């Protein structure tokens, strides 16, 4: 994709198949992480504090330049920086496979399932799928400049949502209104009956249009300015409203269409006069609309459907982006195809769109068992759609039946488990991790702090690293591989 770096961060659920388990999901998460780093030696653990909630040994970078760590008890995988949709999809699936294979190697696959979803039906908790897009520092990062992005994000769930049974409880959070923070309950949100099925897992948990904090005040656009690159040149658009996708097609289309809309905004070509009157409410109303009409009230008092709005963005992208590269043209073609099919029978989308695939499976079960939407089995099947075990996951059943189009290949996924993309700075970081594993600068099995307060053997961050005895090595340009620079730098280190 043109001038774009992509990244995905995925938090995984752990489902224990025991009535009275001896261990918690967090215990299993620790075992998986430790086995991956200490036995399989897939990467190097951090030997320093990354934050108050990330002590030494909490996680580390992998040989593919991605990162695995624990976030509030959840296993989380962050892909390396990717410059193409093929790479980011392969890297995302590589994280799934790394964790699933580790679970199986530990002999836990009958006791525990890794679930790539965003909700816990029992506790009403949510865990995220975060998207990262590199943009120029000149990007109009203001309410007015971001208005087209908000409209696009609110409506894209019609093809990016993963679907869920039921809904979450009303989120008790603080809403930013002008310069004031007020409780959401003060806005007089009315109670609505629980929908049997909705198209997005995360929509119920988004309570702001713009906000900096990540937890409890999740926003459509996260405003934290943390570029993880040269701050004079770049900004990182960090999104946390999206669902974790099982289909490669939905992952690629989600990232590809969003990347093109960001390009339209950067170049001043985004469609205008589509500002939504109440974006958060619209996000949830679209998700919960059982008739799938997906109508939205705009600030202009005009009513439009989400499909019509998406077609406005598509038309602009075709006019200004078509022909710039092969991946762009693939996105434009598939964007048009999925919007066309959204106007008809949702079953045409099975295998491409997660919510449609899940709804079809659930309806097949309901018809076969004469079950209504209150049947507790539906929530179990909801989770099983996201099970990463190929022998159990319902998504993998569709894949085996040939109903799911592929965007990448098994060969590329296995390659992405070990190696980084060769056209971003991830390539240079991968060289560093391999060097540390080979040279054994520190025992990867012992993440304890160094004695006497000495600088640890190494510190690795996304845009800089330092090996003990040598100056810090910054990597501010995500488009540069830094491969030869890293090799030269490491060859000069005195151990």
Q: What are phi and psi of 100, to 5 degrees?
A: -65, -45
Angstrom distance (rounded) from CA 397 to CA 121: 23
Contact by Cβ (8 Å): 157, 283? yes
- Token pair for 436: 């540390």
The set of residues, in sequence order, having a beta carbon less than 8 Å from that of 297 and lying 6+ positions away, is: 276, 277, 278, 282, 303
- Token pair for 126: 């949510």
Angstrom distance (rounded) from CA 34 to CA 38: 6
Angstrom distance (rounded) from CA 482 to CA 140: 29
Q: Is 178 a catalytic residue?
A: no
Q: Considering 19, 53, 71, 178, which one is annotated as catalytic? A: 71
Q: Which parts of 391-495 fold into alpha helices (H)?
A: 394-400, 410-418, 426-439, 483-491
Q: What are phi and psi of 113, to 5 degrees?
A: -120, 140
Buried b (16+ CB within 10 A) or exposed e, 461-482: bbbebbbbeeeebebbebeebb
As a whole number of Å, the CA-based R_g of the chain is: 22
Which DSSP state fits 171?
P
List active site positions: 71
């Amino acid at each position: 994709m043109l001038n774009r770096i992509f990244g995905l961060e995925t938090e995984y659920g752990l489902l224990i198949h025991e009535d009275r388990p001896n261990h918690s999901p967090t215990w299993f998460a620790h075992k998986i992480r430790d086995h991956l780093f200490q036995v399989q030696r897939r990467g190097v653990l951090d030997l320093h504090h990354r934050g108050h909630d990330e002590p030494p040994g909490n996680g580390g970078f992998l040989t593919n330049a991605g990162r695995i760590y624990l976030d509030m008890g959840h296993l989380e995988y962050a892909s390396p920086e990717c410059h193409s949709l093929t790479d980011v999809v392969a890297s995302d699936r590589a994280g799934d496979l790394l964790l699933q294979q580790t679970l199986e190697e530990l002999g836990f696959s009958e006791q525990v399932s890794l679930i790539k979803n965003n909700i816990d039906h029992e506790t009403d908790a949510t865990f995220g799928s975060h998207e990262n897009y590199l943009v120029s520092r000149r990007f109009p990062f203001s309410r007015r400049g971001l208005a087209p992005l908000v409209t696009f994000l609110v409506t894209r769930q019609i093809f990016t949502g993963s679907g869920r049974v039921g809904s979450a409880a009303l989120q008790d959070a603080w809403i930013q209104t002008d310069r004031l923070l007020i409780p959401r309950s003060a806005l007089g949100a009315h109670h609505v009956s629980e929908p049997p099925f909705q198209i997005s897992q995360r929509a119920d948990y988004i309570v702001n249009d713009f906000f900096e904090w990540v937890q409890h005040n999740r926003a459509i656009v996260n405003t934290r300015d943390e570029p993880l690159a040269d701050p004079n040149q770049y900004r990182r658009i960090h999104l946390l409203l999206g669902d974790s996708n099982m289909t490669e097609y939905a992952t690629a289309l989600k990232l590809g269409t969003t990347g093109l809309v960001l390009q339209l905004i950067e170049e001043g070509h985004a469609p205008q006069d589509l500002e939504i009157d109440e974006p958060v409410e619209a996000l949830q109303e679209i998700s919960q609309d059982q008739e799938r009409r997906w109508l939205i009230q705009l600030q202009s008092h005009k009513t439009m459907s989400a499909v019509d709005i998406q077609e406005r963005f598509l038309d602009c992208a075709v006019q200004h982006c078509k022909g710039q590269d092969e991946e762009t043209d693939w996105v434009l073609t598939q964007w048009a195809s999925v919007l066309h099919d959204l106007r008809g029978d949702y079953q045409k989308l099975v295998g491409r769109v997660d919510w449609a695939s899940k709804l079809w499976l659930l309806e097949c079960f309901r018809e076969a068992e004469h079950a209504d939407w209150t049947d507790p089995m539906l929530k179990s099947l909801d989770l099983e759609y996201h099970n990463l075990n190929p022998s159990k996951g319902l998504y993998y059943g569709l894949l085996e039946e040939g109903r799911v189009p592929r965007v990448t290949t098994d060969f590329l996924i296995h390659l992405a488990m070990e190696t980084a993309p060769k056209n971003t700075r991830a390539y240079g970081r991968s060289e560093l991790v391999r060097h540390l594993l080979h040279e054994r600068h520190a025992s990867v099995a012992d993440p304890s702090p160094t004695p006497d307060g000495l600088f640890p053997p190494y510190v690795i961050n996304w845009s800089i690293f330092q090996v003990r005895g040598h100056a810090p090595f910054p990597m501010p340009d995500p488009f540069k591989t830094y491969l030869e620079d890293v090799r030269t730098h490491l060859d000069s280190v005195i151990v």
